Amino acid sequence: MADRPIITLLTDFGWGDGHIGVMKGVILDINPDCLIVDLAHHISPHDVMGAAFVLGQTYTFFPPGTIHVAVVDPGVGGPRKPLVLEAGDYLFVGPDNGVFTLVLKQEEGVRVYELIEERFRLPRVSQTFHGRDIFAPAAAHLSLEVTPEEMGPAVDINELTTLAIPDPVLDGEALLGEVIWVDHFGNLVTNISQEALGAFAPDETIEIEIKGERVRGLKTSYEEGEEGEVIALWGSAGFLEIALKERNLHSELGWGRGEKVRIRRRQ
């Protein structure tokens, strides 16, 4: 565990409205010793799937005991529950809207509690900013060693909202996947892991098809290939990525999330 409690913030707020800053102010007012890390704040507005992907690929790189706050919350003020999760070595705070899907997929023995105890909220809770009024103060109190059990009743993990994040599937002589994330550079991240492809065929023997474009084999880095060439390679998260060498594939070709990817063994 780190010497100072660490709280990360993942939102779709951007930087223009002061929302991130006021959440930090609430946390520091309760626990001035916190170390606050901005994980990501330019998730597309209301993009719960994108937030789930970013959180799922980053949370384990922090020290044990880190508290991850995820507030991409298009249903704020509605019936979805505010939650705290104990999962592995970490705590997670945020809405029950699917943002913790990949955490639940990767961790066993997760315990979940509803954030309803008023003493761990701000005195006045708005219907539009639970990040400030519920999630930030809850995280700050957790950093002071308040236990999740003190914050509200246990929630059945089987009742949590989860997103339908597809797994790659075998279809005859092909491995079928799809794009699940577009990064800042316009590269397409697929749901095809190194393990899934390794069980299908060696990297150098495959042909990848997307939107009628065929890519033979994988590059080992973004440095390889010619400018403007569609290339494929393993990304840092261990998933197959498709890119336009030194350009933005998403903006130039319009390819994005949900595009189908078909992998065959070359003849």
Q: pLDDT (tens digit, 9 = 90+) per residue, 100-123?
A: 999 999 999 999 999 999 999 999
Query: Does 94 score more than 60 pLDDT?
Result: yes
The architecture CATH gives domain 6-159: 3-Layer(aba) Sandwich (3.40)
- In this predicted model, what pLDDT tens digit does every residue of 178-207 receive, in sequence order? 999 999 999 999 999 999 988 888 878 899
| Domain boundaries, given as residue ranges, for the chain | 6-159, 169-265
Cα 209 to Cα 29: distance, rounded to the nearest angstrom: 53
Return the pLDDT at 202.
Answer: 82
Return the pLDDT at 2.
Answer: 67
Return the pLDDT at 204.
Answer: 81
CA trace torsion 213, 214, 220, 221 (10° rounding): -10
- In this predicted model, what pLDDT tens digit does every residue of 218-238 receive, in sequence order? 999 999 999 999 999 999 989
pTM over 0.75: yes
- State phi, psi for 82 to the nearest 5 degrees: -80, 135
- The correct answer on CATH 3.40.50.460 for the domain covering 169-265 is no
Query: What percent of the chain is predicted at pLDDT more than 70?
Result: 99
Query: Does 1 score more than 70 pLDDT?
Result: no
Q: Which residues contact 193 (CB under 8 A, 6 or more apart)?
A: 168, 238, 239, 240
Q: Output 167 or 203, whichever has higher pLDDT.
A: 167
- In this predicted model, what pLDDT tens digit does every residue of 42-89 receive, in sequence order? 999 999 999 999 999 999 999 999 999 999 999 999 999 999 999 999
Query: What percent of the chain is predicted at pLDDT more than 90?
Result: 91
